[in-house]
Amino acid sequence: MTAQIIDGLALSKKLRASFKEEVATLTAQGKRPGLAVVLVGEDPASQVYVRNKIKACEDTGIHSVLQKLEAETTQVQLLAHIDALNKDPNIHGILVQLPLPKHIDADTVIEAIAPEKDVDGFHISSAGALMTGLPHGFWPCTPHGCLKMLDDIGYELRGKHAVVVGRSNIVGKPMAMMLLGRSATVTICHSATPDLAAMTRQADVIVAAVGKVNLITADMVKPGAVVLDVGMNRNAEGKLCGDVDFDGVKEVASWITPVPGGVGPMTITMLLANTIESAKRA
């Protein structure tokens, strides 16, 4: 079997085209969605991510503000910036790019964001809403993008066994909650799981979100499984690749996401979706 490719770039383009129309309608009603992106310091990867987020806003018609703060910014100063954004009626979403410099406590900063503007979905209020199935709050963008991709291929999760590899607050844990919310049986694997392959071989759906090249190989995948690759790594040759051995696994799986062009573009797409949703709720 050769797997069908889940094209995150194509799905993103389709969704962003519909967002553009929605933003135009909201703007005409005087409710133009607005996103503030806060970057502290000069981490090169973060600069690229932030630029891509601002560009996506511009392409969709979303009002965007980039606040670049120097690496020496104190936590008190950063919290004052967030407080001002919390009170700004033109801003519906606030994203503080992670990682933050070591002298700043990321948890304190995330909790300072007004929950109704938490478009990253990292606030405990959003996490609690996802866990309890309540409709307020926002879902973290990367796992939400994964769920959208499964919906787009018409995959029915009810009764299926989903194995999530990785337990981060940003991807693994919220992904597991979303899959559980769709009545999948969910297993979360992590660095202390003794026999990862024994777990993944039982999976109808695998979500790999660890950050390790070739973590998931063909022998670890049940024939016909759906494989979503959240990894974003460089291999020994410096080529961008995920956590899944794509060439091997695509011969076993029924559907698979590539890297690049799979989950990656969907993350920003869901950030746009959350920002629009926040403006509609305001």
Note the residues at the interface with ligand GUN (CB under 6 A). Answer: 95-98, 120, 141
215 φ, ψ to 5°? -65, -40
Residue number of the CB closest to ligand GUN reads 98
Burial of 139 (0-12, 13-18, 19+ CB in 10 A): buried
Task: Retrieve residue 8's tokens.
Answer: 């995150």
Measured from the CB atom, the residue of 162 and 263 that comes closer to ligand GUN is: 263
Least separation, in Å, of the C-beta of 88 and ligand GUN?
A: 18
Active site residue 53: yes
159 among the known binding-site residues?
A: no
Marked catalytic residue, from 120, 204, 229, 243: 120
Measured from the CB atom, the residue of 120 and 277 that comes closer to ligand GUN is: 120
18 among the known binding-site residues?
A: no
CA 274, distance to chain mean position in Å, is: 11
168 among the known binding-site residues?
A: yes
Least separation, in Å, of the C-beta of 282 and ligand GUN?
A: 21
Least separation, in Å, of the C-beta of 248 and ligand GUN?
A: 27
Paired strand residues for 262: none
Sign of CA dihedral 97, 102, 107, 111: negative
CB atoms within 10 A of CB 87: 9
- Measure the CA–CA gap between 24 and 29, rounded to whole angstroms: 9
Task: Retrieve residue 28's tokens.
Answer: 């005409």
Measured from the CB atom, the residue of 10 and 45 that comes closer to ligand GUN is: 45
Which sequence positions are flagged as catalytic?
Answer: 53, 97, 120
**Residue positions forming the annotated binding site:** 166-168
**Residue positions forming the annotated binding site for NADP(+):** 166-168
